[in-house]
Structure 1
Amino acid sequence: MKTILVLTDFSIKADHAAHYALKLAQKIQANLLLCNVYPQPAIVTASTHTFWNGNESETFEQDSLNDLAELANRLNKQLDKTCNDEFKPVVDFCSMAGPLTAAINYIVASRQILFAVIATHSSDDFMAFLNGNHANEIIENANCPVLVLPYQLSFNGFNKIVFATDLAHKGTDVLHSLYHITKYFDSEVLVTHVGMVKLAKVTEDYITRRFLCQEIGVSQYPKIQYRSVKNKSITAGLQWLAEHDDIDLLVLVHHKRNLIQKIFEPSVTKKLANKFAKPMLIFPSSYERGSVPIL
């Protein structure tokens, strides 16, 4: 059964993300898998022998399972309030020792995971400062799409989806996945490119024919359009679009960068994930149709 993986650290923001994911799961008829990744047990060295502190590991795991069970119980109570004819997801949970992305990718490889759901943590969030930015780590290394949710955002469906592309990445497999999402919401998909110069109409028409018609067959996607945004900053351009257009979901492809690029060229995806006011669905650059289950 197709499943949404909900990653939680039991913070109030993660709790909100879990409730959002529950409503989304009802709409797209998927189950939920709640997951908490707790710290690996400490290594204790005595003389020439090294061993794991088993008691600490058992404590972490039991606390994690107890909190997961409590969260699952609250979500199931929320489901009890819905109409009988509505789809009711099965809410399961698991607890695993870190490292974080290794645990996530193990689950992705062993379950039919559509995408992972995480909550954003602002730069002034004290706990995020202490624990590191796990959102960035997940976006960089997860082998599945990641849905990043701002805090306190209500679930209202995805009527308008913006797919931001650099036009170099064909995006065919991503668009096919989006098509399967649009079926549940009757969504409009706006393929968007942010650049220094606003493209001429003749160029936009060419891109529409090449990118939409030749790549995927526009007849299969009656509600797909192309729009260019002029801005020297991709981040600022997408922020502007979100403020001036009523979009419900921003979709991007995250391209991994080498060390030099990481130092001098901050990731657009990661910058947006820290402050964007709309949900973001981020696909790994290695994503191919069939490599991750499609809705």
Structure 2
Amino acid sequence: MRTILVLTDFSAATRNGAEMALYLASRLRVRLTLLQVWQEPIRVKVKDVSPFPLERQCRQAHNPDYQLKQEVVRLQQLEMREGDLAPVSIETISYPGNFKSGLKRATMNNKILLAVARDHQPDLDFIGRPDHLAKTEDLLSCPLLVIPASYTPDPAFTHIAFAIDLAWKDPRVLACLRPLADALG
């Protein structure tokens, strides 16, 4: 199934990127997939945390599955507030392991039209680290939309801009953009 993939770490930038991806998925009538890849922490096993309510709250707040569920609820509430959005199916993937394995799992059964990721830089002049973005695009084989940390979503957006060096792997880059362009019309 055609989908838009959001690589999330629950920062403000990725939440804004997820909102923008929700608007886009609604227009394209495709599924939205939230992917969170995380490293398994070292845990101390406690049989019963019921006498320790703060411990239970802390574990719940830092549980990736719980955070993904909260993000889906937030996006569904946004979808209801914006009355003119078409319904969007939202899928979540919480993967313990490394980034490469998580991307392979997310792309296994989905045709990814677009991937949305956040940039670590707050300034628009320094969007993305080229080496990291190039590796991510190679793994995904689809366009990667980088959301700057200062971005605020707007449901009335009309253009998406991609910086493309046509001299670098020209046929592959255009082949990645073609499915997205066809879906947009």
The answer to whether the superposition gives a TM-score over 0.5 is yes
C-alpha change, 1:105 and 1:134, in structure 2 (3 Å) is: farther
Query: Matched residue of 1:170: which SS?
Result: helix
Q: Secondary structure at the match of 1:92?
A: strand
Partners of 1:34 and 1:162 in 2: CA distance: 24
Change (3 A) 1:138 1:161: closer
Matches within 5 A, 1:208-227: none
Q: Structure 1 residues 29 and 168 mapped into 2: Cα distance closer, same or farther (>3 Å)?
A: closer
1:1-295 matches, within 5 Å, as 1-41=1-41, 63-83=63-83, 86-122=85-121, 137=132, 139-141=134-136, 142-145=139-142, 146-150=144-148, 151-155=150-154, 156-158=157-159, 163-166=164-167, 169-170=170-171, 172-174=174-176, 176-183=178-185
How many equivalent residue pairs?
A: 162
1:120–1:135: 8 Å Cα contact kept in structure 2? no
Structure 1 unmatched ranges of 5 or more = 43-52, 125-132, 184-295
Deviation at residue 74 of structure 1 after TM alignment: 0.7
Q: Deviations over 1:214-262 (max 9, x none)?
A: xxxxxxxxxxxxxxxxxxxxxxxxxxxxxxxxxxxxxxxxxxxxxxxxx
Rg larger in structure: 1
Alignment root-mean-square deviation, CA: 3.3
Alpha-carbon separation, structure 2, partners of 1:159 and 1:138: 17
Change in Cα spacing, 1:73 to 1:12, as seen in structure 2 (3 Å) is: same
Contact 2:113 2:180 in 1 (8 A): no
Contact map agreement 2:141 2:176 (CA 8 A) in 1: no
Secondary structure (helix, strand or coil) at the match of 1:25 reads helix
Percent identity over paired residues = 22
Give the aligned residue type for 1:92: E
Provide the rounded CA distance (Å) in 2 between the counterparts of 1:75 and 1:99.
Answer: 26
**1:139 to 1:162, Cα distance in 2 relative to 1, 3 A:** closer
Q: Which has the higher contact order (CA 8 A, sep 6+)?
A: 2
After TM superposition, give the deviation of residue 28 of structure 1 in Å. Answer: 1.3
Would you tell me which structure has more strand in proportion to its own residues? Answer: 1
Distance change in 2, residues 1:96/1:18 (3 Å): same
8 A contact 1:36–1:64 mirrored in 2: yes
Conserved in 2, the CA contact under 8 Å of 1:3 and 1:113? yes
Question: 1:26-55 CA deviation, whole Å, 9 max, x = no partner?
Answer: 11111111121111355xxxxxxxxxx695
1:63 to 1:160, Cα distance in 2 relative to 1, 3 A: closer
Q: What amino acid maps onto 1:148 in structure 2?
A: V
Question: What TM-score, normalized by structure 1, do the two folds share?
Answer: 0.47
Rounded Cα–Cα distance in structure 2 between residues aligned with 1:116 and 1:35: 10
